[in-house]
């Protein structure tokens, strides 16, 4: 009886995470629409705010003190800062490339989510490897801002990013299935999924954008 109750409660909590994740995507879309009206001069300050919020979420993750307000504010700002990237690819590569990247993101995210949830293996051993790869990608991104890489280097970085965030989707769903968490942790877990999704989308967008030029 206890196992049935525990399993039902876990399913309900995972359902809450997915609902919060879906709402986060909606907030990001609203942010993108607002982004069409934001003056270009404000994008950099918003990106700095977004970066500070990510650091805050990382530092507060052990306390599970990230609330729904934080989640939706972050995803809204993320939508605004993502708009210029999407606008760039719409102008240079066309809507087909953006749609292809979004479709590929949905497919990969769904497949990796199913694998992470259904596998009987504990994928926690991937934690260190994925974190190291993520930090490396962050460093590469920061260097690229001040000293732009060649197209080939960015193409390789996009491939690596696609692999890393695909694995993160699988890892995060597997972790949700295995750990015990409460309603308080739902916004933070939804934030993790949102970051997986948006970064996977951006890497696929760059990757498909590069391929479409050839």
What is the residue-wise DSSP string for 104-172? Answer: HHHHHHHHHHHHHHH--S-GGGGHHHHHHHHHHHHHHHHHHHHSPPPHHHHHHHHHHHHHHHHHHHHHH
From the number of C-beta atoms within 10 Å of its C-beta (0-12, 13-18, 19+), residue 98 rates as buried
Provide the pLDDT for residue 55. Answer: 77
Alpha-carbon distance of 177 to 73, in angstroms, equals: 27
Are the CB atoms for 188 and 61 separated by under 8 Å? yes
Which segments in the chain show pLDDT lower than 70? Answer: 1-7, 59-65, 214
User: If you search the block for the tokens 């003056």, which residue do you land on?
Assistant: 39
Provide the pLDDT for residue 2. Answer: 45
Provide the pLDDT for residue 147. Answer: 77
Q: How many CB atoms neighbour CB 101 within 10 A?
A: 23
196 to each of 44, 102, 203, how far by Cα in Å? 22, 13, 11
Provide the pLDDT for residue 32. Answer: 95
Provide the pLDDT for residue 47. Answer: 87
pTM recorded for the entire structure: 0.90
Alpha-carbon distance of 210 to 1, in angstroms, equals: 55
Provide the pLDDT for residue 109. Answer: 97
179 to each of 24, 60, 147, 183, how far by Cα in Å? 22, 18, 41, 13
Are the CB atoms for 68 and 20 separated by under 8 Å? yes
Are the CB atoms for 37 and 83 separated by under 8 Å? no
């Amino acid at each position: 009886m206890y196992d049935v109750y525990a399993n039902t409660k876990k399913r309900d909590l995972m359902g809450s995470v997915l609902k919060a994740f879906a709402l986060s995507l909606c907030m990001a879309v609203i942010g993108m629409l607002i982004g069409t009206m934001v003056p270009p001069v404000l994008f950099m300050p918003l990106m700095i705010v977004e970066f500070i919020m990510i650091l805050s979420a990382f530092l507060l993750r052990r306390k599970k003190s990230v609330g729904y307000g934080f989640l939706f504010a972050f995803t809204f700002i993320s939508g605004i800062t993502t708009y210029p990237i999407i606008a760039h690819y719409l102008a240079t590569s066309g809507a087909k490339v953006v749609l292809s990247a979004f479709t590929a993101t949905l497919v990969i995210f769904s497949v990796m989510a199913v694998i992470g949830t259904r596998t009987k293996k504990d994928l926690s051993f991937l934690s260190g490897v994925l974190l190291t790869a993520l930090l490396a990608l962050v460093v590469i991104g920061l260097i690229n801002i001040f000293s732009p890489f060649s197209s080939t280097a960015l193409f390789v970085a996009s491939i690596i990013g696609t692999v890393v965030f695909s694995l993160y989707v699988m890892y995060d769903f597997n972790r949700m299935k295995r750990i015990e968490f409460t309603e308080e942790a739902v916004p933070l877990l939804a934030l993790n999924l949102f970051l997986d999704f948006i970064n996977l989308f951006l890497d696929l967008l760059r990757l498909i954008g590069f391929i479409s030029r050839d």
